[in-house]
Structure 1
Amino acid sequence: MAIVKPFKAVRATRDKIALVSSKSYEAYPAEQLDAKLAFNPFSFLHVVNPGYKYHQQEISGDQRFKLVHNRYLEFKEDGYFTQDEIPAFYIYKKITPTDSFCGIISATSVNDYHNDVIKKHEGTLRKRELLFEDYLRNTGFNAEPVLLTYPDNDEITSIINKYQENRAEYEFTTTDKETHLLWIISNKVDIEKITSAFEKVDTLYIADGHHRSTSSCMLAEHLAKENPDHTGNENYNFFMSYLLPESQLNIYEFNRFIKDLNGLTVDGFLIELDTIFKIENKGLELYKPKEKHNFSMYLNGDFYSLSLRKSAYEFTNELSKLDAQILYQTVLKPILGIDDIRNDSKIIYSQNKSGGLELKTKVDEGSFKVSFGMLPTNIDELKGIVDIGLLMPPKTTYIEPKLRSALTIYEF
């Protein structure tokens, strides 16, 4: 049973939302970030990059987080942000040149996270967990929802569709040709229908935002211990999430780029691979995998197809069937000597939205010796691994939609 809850969002006024909301801070290259800060005084980037006001970009730690809180208060004091008077759910729709996503922004329960109703598919770094918990404690708000997915539900979809027949509270298009719309659900009957519908959902899966969800739960635990009047209904017992049906989730793969062959020659490396894979040299053909357990490889000016030999690898559980895990167990660790795939400097990852061309270009530039591509993981694979209590290797999935900051803000 999944618990979802309406909340009183802090939001930009309708006339300024297109100027206020932004992509995630980390999504902007330095020069683009500087331009946004210089020419848009309403951008939320001024809140999360408070040092710009003092011409200092390197403010860090608690000092920076306190300045973020101060800039946030200024946006409220200047009337850029106001808080809704009635708790609500928020329907958010994002339309790109190729896709459309529509789901519900709500508060979700930290207890559901602890009780495995909300499940994660990848591990988190303790350092980042602590950093973001510190950020939340000092700023008092979260402006980016965690992306959760759930099995398609006709009852929830019908409510979402009903609201889309009316004018949206927000409707604006950004320079990357993406349109954003937001509807407010404050009607008590519809709120009850949504709440009841999610109570029938057994599991919500974290698609994106693992560190945000983990850190929110850590903060809730600490604040509960510090609060002698703790009831369980305080805002810190929930975190903001964007609930999206599984059918609307886009999952892409990450390519792997390796800096050296671990002392092997090209021929020696191919001989090692021949024990595990059926190898076909595709020459200059831009080869892309055709099926699961088939990989593309670019090495020494040629593309290769690598097909797993069934006799060379044993499937023991759902994780062992995952292509990213197969590549790690058969190539990255035993042949290329990459044990810690999260932290080893010999490997980097890049989301594959270029049709595989990047596999060639990055190696040809000389920074890497070999690259690997695979088919994307699908939602059933993700759920199958998570449901048996396992986690996927890092950088297995690149998931869309990516959400904007400050469309709705959740205060603790």
Structure 2
Amino acid sequence: MAKVKPFRAVRPTRDKVALVTTRSYELYDMKERRSILKYNPFSFLHILEPGFKFNKVVKGLERFRLVNNRFLEFKENQIFQKEEKPVYYLHEKSFGEHVYWGIIAVCSVEDYENAVIKKHENTLAEREKLFGHYLEVAGFNAEPVLITYPNQIEIDHLYNRYKLERAEYEFTTNKKRKHQLWIIDNPADIALIEKTFDSIPQLYIADGHHRSASSHYLKNLLKSKNKGHTGNEFYNYFMTYLIPESNLQITSFDRFIKKLNMSKEDFLVQLDAYFRIENLGNELYRPSKKHHFSMYLDGDYFKLYLRSEKYNIENALDELDAQVLYKTILKPILKIDDLSADKNIVYIPEKENLNQLKTIVDEKKYAVGFGLFPVTTEQLKAVADAKLTMPPKSTYIQPKLRSGLTIYELTE
């Protein structure tokens, strides 16, 4: 059963939260990042890019130490405050017709080790180690792992009740994303949340596999250094954002191929072995069901329908359209074997640009683009349950939470 605990977050003061919190660091280009660092002294980017204060690029252990220094400065300058007692946080993010909500808490690394918290992606040992050492030196975790769980009516009722109350935070970003956060400090509500999750046999990582693996690495590292290890230390837990399955939005990554190394006609002939092909000309097409694909090639959209009698499904992984594409086109025809390292393939999130295939291929950077039907939550869980791993960039998942909204300190 899942251990989901309240914690004492370090978080921005109410008056500064909109100035402090940021998108994930890698989502900013250098120009935007520099502008924020120059004009917003409260931005969490000052912690993540600590060398800016000295007009110096810092890397490795030196950067990790300076990250900790900037974090301490934010606390000393009362930009951050620490919760007086362990609580849960209810967060809602909305834009347009999309509304996402979930509970920010800490989960047990032991549950991750014992597959109570299940994964569907592989992680790289070097990245686990690097970020594990970063966590050790920086001393905090500022971006939660996104975890999904089967809908629980008790948690749904709690959300509907808190929605009627004044939020601790309410702000809108320059991307027109509205964020609200409520503090759940009522003992009865805390007990309800803890008891509810304790009755759930499995949780599933939706986004944040490397963050989870790095927390696992950190736990083992610090345990080996701590002769008095009890299992209750802060490093035995990691910060998570738990959302009900019905609240999870999964979209796909489009695949773009730089070179075909064959004629258009030869390529289509080879595709015909596995797919029924329909040329739509300029008519926009996005797949509407699994095992249907869109393709944009040489100025035309194509429908590709998998010939089911030609494709063997042996496990949950084979059901995924990303795996179908790999086994029928990318590997046998285009000779793309290593989906993570091959330079001939590029992945771009579909997001809300339905005409992305045409737009990008027509820029003459790529020979062909493929659109996939999104993975379902049921498929994600089936792959995790079977202890299999999805191909790279099989899912683009919402919601994304702001960095620096709640921070989990790994030591007192």
Match of 1:373 in 2: 371
Moved over 6 A (4+): none
CA distance in 2, matches of 1:133, 1:255: 31
Equivalence for 2:292: 294
2 CA distance for matches of 1:168 and 1:65?
34
Aligned match of 2:321 = 323
Offset from partner CA, 1:336-390 (integer Å, 9 cap, x none): 0000001111100011124431111221111111110011111011111111111
1:394 paired to 2:392: yes
Residue deviations 1:198-242 (CA, integer Å, cap 9, x gap): 011111111111111110011011111111111101100000000
What letter corresponds to residue 285 of structure 1 in structure 2? E
Q: Does 1:232 align with 2:256?
A: no
Secondary structure of 2:154's partner? helix
Match of 2:192 in 1: 193
- Give the match for residue 179 of structure 1: 178
| Counterpart for residue 131 of structure 1 | 130
Aligned to 1:37: 37
Which deviations, in whole Å up to 9, do the C-alpha atoms of 1:1-40 show, x marking residues without a partner? 1100111111111111111111111111221111111111
Give 3-state SS (helix, strand or coil) of 2:155's partner: helix
Work out the CA distance in 1 between the residues paired with 2:286 and 2:10.
45
**Secondary structure in structure 2 of the residue aligned to 1:34:** helix
Alpha-carbon contact 1:298-1:370 (below 8 Å) kept: yes
Shift of 1:113: 0.2
Q: How many residues are paired up?
A: 410
Task: Give identity over the alignment, percent.
Answer: 53
Tell me which residue corresponds to 2:306: 308
Q: Return the alpha-carbon distance in structure 1 between the equivalents of residues 244 and 231 of structure 2.
A: 28
Query: What CA distance in whole angstroms lies between the structure 2 residues aligned with 1:353 and 1:232?
Result: 41
Moved more, 380-389 or 210-219: 380-389
Secondary structure in 2 matching 1:67: helix
Partner of 2:7: 7
What SS class does the counterpart of residue 227 from structure 2 fall into?
Answer: coil
Distance in structure 2 (CA, Å) of the matches to 1:166 and 1:222: 42
Q: How does 1:10-409 map to 2 (within 5 A)?
A: 10-56=10-56, 58-261=57-260, 263-409=261-407
1:311: Cα distance to partner? 2.1
Amino acid at match of 1:12: P
Amino acid at match of 1:43: S
For the residues of structure 2 that align with 1:53 and 1:392, how far apart are their CA atoms? 41
SS of equivalent to 1:383: helix
Gaps of 5+ in 1: none
Q: How much does 1:278 deviate?
A: 0.7
1:233 and 1:108 mapped to 2: Cα distance? 12
Determine if contact 1:356/1:373 at 8 Å carries over to the other structure. no
Query: Per-residue deviation at 1:140?
Result: 0.3
Secondary structure of 1:317's match? coil
> Separation in 2 of the partners of 1:388 and 1:191?
33
C-alpha separation between the residues in 2 aligned to 1:244 and 1:304?
36
Instruction: Write the distance in 2 (CA, Å) between the matches of 1:396 and 1:271.
Output: 27
The 10-residue stretch of structure 1 (104-113 or 168-177) with the greater mean CA deviation from structure 2: 168-177
- Read off the aligned partner of 1:78 and give its amino acid letter: N
- Shift, 1:78, TM fit: 0.7
RMSD of aligned alpha carbons = 1.0
- For 2:219 and 2:160, the matched residues in 1 are separated by 34
Contact 1:213 1:239 in 2 (8 A): yes
Bigger mean CA offset, 386-395 vs 332-341: 386-395
For 1:302 and 1:228, the matched residues in 2 are separated by: 65
AA paired with 1:257? F
Q: CA deviation digits over 1:111-142, x for unaligned, max 9? A: 10001010111111222212211110110001
Give the TM-score normalised by the residue count of structure 2: 0.98
CA distance in 2: counterparts of 1:74 and 1:353, whole angstroms: 37
